[in-house]
Structure 1
Amino acid sequence: MFSSDGIITRVEADNETTDEYGVNHQIRACARGRSLRQRTYAPDRLKTPMKRVGKRGEGKFVPISWDEAASTVASELQRIASEYSNKSILKLYGTGAYYGFSSSNCFNRILNLNGGFLNIYGNYSWAQQNEAAAATGFGSTSGSILLSLKDSDLFIGLGYNPSEMRQSGSGEGYDFLQAIKANDALEIIMIDPRYTDSMAGKEDNWFPIRPGTDAALAEGIAYEMISSGWVDSNSKNFLDKFCVGYDKDSLIKLKAEFQASGDPKKLAYVPYINPDDNYKDYILGEGTFSTKGPRTPSWAAKVCGISETNIKKIASKIMNARAPFIITGAGVNRHANGEQAMRSCYMLSFLTGKVGQPGVSNGALPSQGSLSNSGMSGLSNPVKESISFFTFPDAIERGHEMTARKDGIRGTADLDTPLGADLKAIFALNSNALINQHSDSNGIAKILEDDTKCEFIVVCDCWMTPSAKFADILLPDTSWLESNDLVNDSYASGIMGYLVAMKAAIDPLWECKSMYDMCALIADKMGKLGEYTEGKDEAGWLAELYEKTRTNSNNANAIPPLPSTYEEAQKQGVFRAFDGKATVALESYINGAGKVNTPSGKIEIFSLQMAQKGAEWEFNDEVKGDYISSIPMYQATWEGYEDDETSEDYPFQLMGYHTKGRTHSSYHNVPWLREAVEDAVWMNPGDAYKKGFTQGSKVLIWSKRGTIELPVRVTPRVAPGVLALGQGAWYTPDPSGRVGPSGHIIDIGGCINTLTRYQPSPFAKGNPQHTNRVQIASA
Structure 2
Amino acid sequence: MNEAATLSRRTFVKGSLAGLALAGAAGSALYGCAPKSEDGAKDGGAAAADEIVYSQCVVNCGGSCLLRWHVQDGKIVYAETDNVGDAAGLQARACLRGRTIRRWINSPDRLMKPMKREGKRGEGKFKEISWDEAYQGIADALKNTIDQYGNEAVYMNYGSGVSSATSRLFPRLANLMGGYLKSYADYSTNMMQSGMPYTYGDKCNPYDSVYASSMSEAEKSDLVIMFGNSPADTRMGGANIVYDFAKVREAGAKIVNIDYRLNETSSGHPDEWLPIRTGTDAALVNAIAHELIANDQVDKEFLDKYCVGYDEDTMPESAKGQNKSYKDYIMGTGYDMVEKTPEWAAPITQIPADRIRQLAADIAAAKALFVVQGWGPQRHNNGENTSRAICMLPILTGMIGKPGTNTGMREAEPGGILGSMPKGENPVKTAINCYQWLNAADHGEQMTAAKDGVRGADKLSTGIKFLWNYGGNCISNQHSDINLVYDVLQDESKLECIVVIDTVMTDSAKYADYLLPDAMRAEQMHMAANGYAEYYNGVVVGGPAQDAPGDAQKEYDIVSGIADKLGLKDDFTEGKTQEQWIEEIYKKSAEKDGNMPSWDEIKAQGHYKRELEPVIGLADFVADPAKNPLETPSGKIEIYAERLAENAAKLELAEGDVVTPIPVFDPGYLGYGSTTDEFPLYASGFHYKSRTHSSYGGVEELNQACRQQIWINDLDAQERGIGNGDKCSVKSPVGEMLIEAKVTPRIIPGTVGIPQGAWHDADMAGDRIDKGGCINTITPYHPSPLAKGNGVHSLIVQVAKA
TM-score computed with the length of structure 2 as normaliser: 0.89
8 Å contact kept, 1:732–1:747 = yes
1:686-725 matches, cutoff 5 A? 686-725=715-754
1:385 correspondence with 2:430: yes
1:217-366 matches, cutoff 5 A? 217-231=284-298, 235-251=299-315, 254-255=316-317, 276-286=323-333, 288-289=334-335, 291-366=336-411
8 Å contact kept, 1:370–1:489 = no
Distance 1:103 1:473 in 2: 19
Distance 1:72 1:663 in 2: 33
Distance 2:599 2:234 in 1: 35
1:377 positional shift: 0.7
State the AA in 2 paired with 1:596.
L
Query: Which residue number corresponds to residue 536 of structure 2?
Result: 496
Cα 1:582–1:537 change in 2 (3 A) is closer
1:572 correspondence with 2:605: yes
8 Å contact kept, 1:373–1:549 = yes
Distance 1:366 1:548 in 2: 29
Distance 1:509 1:324 in 2: 53
Cα 1:427–1:736 change in 2 (3 A) is closer
Deviations 1:51-84 (A, max 9, x none): 0011111100011111110101111100000011
Distance 1:301 1:656 in 2: 23
1:616 to 636, 647, 650: 650
Q: Could you say what secondary structure the match of 1:432 adopts?
A: coil
Distance 2:359 2:557 in 1: 57
1:3 correspondence with 2:66: no
Query: Which residue number corresponds to residue 179 of structure 2?
Result: 116
Distance 2:536 2:668 in 1: 40
1:109 positional shift: 1.4
1:630 correspondence with 2:661: yes
State the AA in 2 paired with 1:563.
S
1:771 correspondence with 2:802: no
Distance 2:268 2:95 in 1: 21
8 Å contact kept, 2:219–2:247 = no
Distance 2:501 2:301 in 1: 55
Query: Which residue number corresponds to residue 671 of structure 2?
Result: 640
State the AA in 1 paired with 2:402.
Q
1:694 positional shift: 1.1
1:564 positional shift: 3.5
Distance 1:274 1:132 in 2: 25
What is the number of equivalent residue pairs in this alignment? Answer: 726
User: Which deviates more from structure 2 when the two are superposed, residues 541-550 or residues 68-77?
Assistant: 541-550
Q: Could you say what secondary structure the match of 2:436 adopts?
A: helix
1:44-193 matches, cutoff 5 A? 44-100=109-165, 102-104=166-168, 106-137=169-200, 138-141=204-207, 142-181=211-250, 183-184=251-252, 186-193=253-260
Query: Which residue number corresponds to residue 446 of structure 1?
Result: 487
8 Å contact kept, 1:681–1:712 = yes
1:202 positional shift: 3.3
Deviations 1:560-586 (A, max 9, x none): x41333xx423311211111x331111
Deviations 1:686-733 (A, max 9, x none): 111111111100010010110000110111111111111100011111
State the AA in 2 paired with 1:774.
V
Q: Could you say what secondary structure the match of 2:267 adopts?
A: coil
Cα 1:342–1:460 change in 2 (3 A) is same
Query: Which residue number corresponds to residue 584 of structure 1?
Result: 616
1:216 correspondence with 2:283: yes
Q: Could you say what secondary structure the match of 1:633 adopts?
A: coil
Q: Could you say what secondary structure the match of 2:589 adopts?
A: helix
Q: Could you say what secondary structure the match of 2:80 adopts?
A: coil
Distance 1:365 1:70 in 2: 43
1:478 correspondence with 2:478: no
1:292 positional shift: 3.1
Distance 1:200 1:573 in 2: 37
Deviations 1:628-651 (A, max 9, x none): 0000000022321212xx422111
1:536 positional shift: 1.1
1:273 positional shift: 7.5
State the AA in 2 paired with 1:672.
E
Cα 1:140–1:541 change in 2 (3 A) is closer
1:274 positional shift: 7.7
1:38 to 103, 110, 118: 103
1:305 positional shift: 0.5
Q: Could you say what secondary structure the match of 1:699 adopts?
A: strand
2:589 to 528, 549, 553: 549
1:5 positional shift: 2.1
1:99 positional shift: 1.6
1:215 positional shift: 0.4
1:499 positional shift: 1.0
State the AA in 1 paired with 2:174.
L
1:13 correspondence with 2:74: no
User: Which deviates more from structure 2 when the two are superposed, residues 544-553 or residues 205-214?
Assistant: 544-553
Distance 1:153 1:203 in 2: 18
Deviations 1:83-132 (A, max 9, x none): 111101100120111122x111x211111112110000011100101222
Distance 2:107 2:323 in 1: 61
1:734 positional shift: 3.6
Structure 1 residues without counterparts, runs of 5 or longer: 256-269, 740-744
Query: Which residue number corresponds to residue 599 of structure 1?
Result: 633
Distance 1:397 1:369 in 2: 39
TM-score computed with the length of structure 1 as normaliser: 0.91
Query: Which residue number corresponds to residue 261 of structure 1?
Result: none
Deviations 1:129-159 (A, max 9, x none): 1222211113334321112112210000010
8 Å contact kept, 2:287–2:342 = yes
1:457 correspondence with 2:502: no
Distance 2:417 2:482 in 1: 36
1:329 positional shift: 1.2
Cα 1:203–1:600 change in 2 (3 A) is farther
Q: Could you say what secondary structure the match of 2:528 adopts?
A: strand
